[in-house]
A and B are shown apart, each in its own frame.
Chain A
């Protein structure tokens, strides 16, 4: 391996652990980040000249600790840490693996602390856990780099001024705090997944980061069912990435996607996660990601659209609606009914899904109605429904698709 590749590999493998250990040593996130970055800069020159160290992680940690000692020499805030840090840098102890994992988990819980704004939680997690640069995070979220830098600085200032703990929460708080952590990872995933056109390649990398974060969480908390459900959902959804848009950036419906291009290893991994989660919850689900992953799993298991197990899909929607009666779920359930029992039954289910007109400005509602009306040869009503859908659609790719469907009818 070349020195440059070795530094890259160490960055991917060691960054989060390095920052996590340094936060414990120093009690200061900004300082931990600075000296960790400096250690990597030094690695890229030294490893080239002196060869790659036998244990890159240990080399980086000792280098970063020495840099920290230089930095805090005259800073009285660190009076009570200096001696200990010197000892750690000179004679680094063997740290048991669980302790290392605990430090990483503490870092994740700290970045996703509910006292921080949601967009700051996402930015901090991508910076410290996934190791993205400020510029990379800014590009992924389509904001200027200065805006993202300001967001991170403000969040770090709050962490230090308000003493937001970078620690594993108490046992009875872990479940609720883990919900927030999963929410951050899922927000990263949907951000990468949602935008279909133009910037797709760039933002697709956010899906990779979310999968990396989900892998990290599973490694740290292998017995937490919600974490398995989250990773199952991300994997099963991402398995379809290559087929979701056509060459012109238009969305491709599930029924028209080329299933031979679905990523089999992601599907198998996702289904395995789902099975583990179900074993851990005795067949129930621990989070909203569970039923969503089950839906994705049913689709992934069908060799072609026609062979989809719609009865299973309707059953999952039934359990979701029992827990959270909302018209968007009812609309999706109606679409599954249409596939199982035909367009007439589907149309009746759609109209029953939204008795109070809550979906009047939701383009998927009008789009789904239009599609069923067209299949029933009620062309005039179908055109009107497509027009209603186009009028309330705020997504360019979807609008172009709706317009092309309407044009086919007239």
Chain B
């Protein structure tokens, strides 16, 4: 089963990665990704720049509306994702529990849609 683990966190709570505390968390991210890879469970993963760098685009009635900022104004912002291939939801939950910012953020687990080949 393939899942996306979408990582949400309040950007004002997450550590500054230039400080010692931030560097320690960065090390945890690195180790987590390595562990995931070594277990053969990782299909991919990326971290995103902060919402201050986000741009939203919509096309309505033929014209493009471009704006600064994320689509939804929520306290917790999407900060990255992992793509996993594991046995079932419990296995995905176990990985989610180990994600470095799950202690102050939220991990949303979404199965990837399967398209029939026929």
List the interface of chain A (C-beta within 8 A of B): 113, 115, 161-165, 167, 169-170, 173
**A-B contacts at CB below 8 angstroms, number:** 24
| Cβ 8 A contact of B111, one of A163, A169, A170, A173 | A163
**A114 (CB) vs chain B CBs: closest residue:** B93
Do A162 and B111 have beta carbons less than 8 Å apart? yes
Task: Tell me the B residues contacting A by CB distance below 8 Å.
Answer: 1, 3, 87-90, 93, 109, 111
Nearest CB of A to B110, in Å: 8
> Are B90 and A162 in contact, CB atoms less than 8 angstroms apart?
no
Q: Which residues of B contact A169 (CB under 8 A)?
A: 90
What is the CA–CA distance of A163 and B85 in the complex, to the nearest angstrom?
12
Of the A-B pairs whose beta carbons lie under 8 Å apart in the complex, a sample of 24, sorted by A's number, is A113-B89, A115-B89, A115-B93, A161-B111, A162-B3, A162-B89, A162-B109, A162-B111, A163-B1, A163-B87, A163-B88, A163-B89, A163-B111, A164-B88, A164-B89, A165-B87, A165-B88, A165-B89, A165-B90, A167-B88, A167-B90, A169-B90, A170-B90, A173-B90
A169 to B109, CA, bound (A): 19
Q: Kindly report which residue of chain B lies nearest to residue A159, judged by CB atoms.
A: B89
A169 to B94, CA, bound (A): 12
Question: How far is it, in angstroms, between the C-alpha of A9 and the C-alpha of B29 when the chains are bound?
Answer: 57
Interchain nearest-CB distance for B3 vs A (Å): 8
**List of B residues within 8 angstroms of A162 by Cβ:** 3, 89, 109, 111
Contacts of A115 in B (CB 8 A): 89, 93
- Closest A residue to B2 by beta carbon equals A163
Q: Nearest-CB distance from B116 to chain A (Å)?
A: 9
Q: Closest approach, in angstroms, between the C-beta of B84 and any C-beta of chain A? A: 12
A167 to nearest B CB, angstroms?
8
A sample of 11 more A-B contacts (CB under 8 A), given A115-B89, A165-B87, is A161-B111, A162-B89, A162-B109, A162-B111, A163-B1, A163-B88, A165-B89, A165-B90, A167-B90, A169-B90, A170-B90
Q: Which residues of A contact B87 (CB under 8 A)?
A: 163, 165
CB distance from A173 to the nearest CB of B (A): 8
Q: How far is the CA of A161 from the CA of B88 in the complex (A)?
A: 10
In the complex, chain B residues whose CB is within 8 Å of the CB of A164: 88-89
User: How distant is the Cα of A141 from the Cα of B74 in the complex, in angstroms?
Assistant: 35
Q: Report A-chain residues with C-beta under 8 Å of the C-beta of B89.
A: 113, 115, 162-165
Complex CA distance for A164 and B89, rounded to whole angstroms: 5
A167 to B109, CA, bound (A): 19
- Give Cα A167 to B89, complex, Å: 11
Return the 10 tightest CB-CB contacts between A and B, nearest first: A163-B1, A163-B88, A165-B88, A162-B111, A164-B89, A165-B90, A162-B89, A163-B89, A161-B111, A115-B89
Q: Tell me the smallest distance from the CB of B5 to a CB of chain A, in Å.
A: 13
A175 to chain B, nearest CB (A): 15
B117 to chain A: closest residue by CB: A76
A165 CB to closest chain B CB (Å) equals: 4
CA–CA, A164 to B87, complex, Å? 10
CA distance A389 to B109 in the complex (A): 46
Q: Which residue of the partner chain B has the closest CB to A170?
A: B90
Q: How far is the CB of A178 from chain B (nearest CB, A)?
A: 15
Residues on the B chain within 8 Å of A163, using CB? 1, 87-89, 111
What B residues does A165 contact at CB under 8 A?
87-90
CA distance A161 to B109 in the complex (A): 12
Q: Which of A161, A163, A170, A173 has the most CB of B within 10 A?
A: A163
In whole angstroms, what is the CA distance A169 to B89 when docked?
A: 12
A237 to B89 alpha-carbon distance, docked (Å):
37
Q: CA of A114 to CA of B109 in the docked complex: distance in angstroms? A: 13
Enumerate chain B residues within 8 angstroms of A167, measured Cβ to Cβ: 88, 90
CB nearest neighbor in B for A160: B111
Cα distance A163–B109 when bound, in Å? 11
Q: How far is the CA of A202 from the CA of B99 in the complex (A)?
A: 47
- C-alpha spacing A23/B31, complex, angstroms: 38
Task: Identify the closest chain B residue to A162 (Cβ).
Answer: B111
What residues of chain B lie closer than 8 Å to A113, measured between beta carbons?
A: 89
Q: Which residues of chain A are near B109, meaning CB under 8 Å?
A: 162
A165 to B89, CA, bound (A): 7
Chain A residues closer than 8 Å to B93, beta-carbon distance: 115
What is the CB-to-nearest-CB distance from A113 to chain B, in angstroms, rounded to a whole number? Answer: 8
Whole-angstrom CA separation of A163 from B2 in the bound complex: 10
**CA A170 to CA B89, docked complex, whole Å:** 13
In the bound complex, CA of A170 to CA of B90 (Å): 10
Determine the residue in chain B with the shortest Cβ distance to A166. B88
Report which residue of B88, B89, B93, B109 has the largest number of chain A beta carbons within 10 angstroms of its beta carbon: B89
State how many angstroms separate the Cβ of B102 from the closest Cβ of chain A: 16
CB distance from A344 to the nearest CB of B (A): 51
Q: Give bound CA distance, A173 to B1, whole Å.
A: 21
Question: Cβ of B88: which chain A residues have Cβ within 8 Å of it?
Answer: 163-165, 167
CA distance A165 to B1 in the complex (A): 11
Residues of B within 8 A of A173 (CB): 90
CA distance A173 to B88 in the complex (A): 15
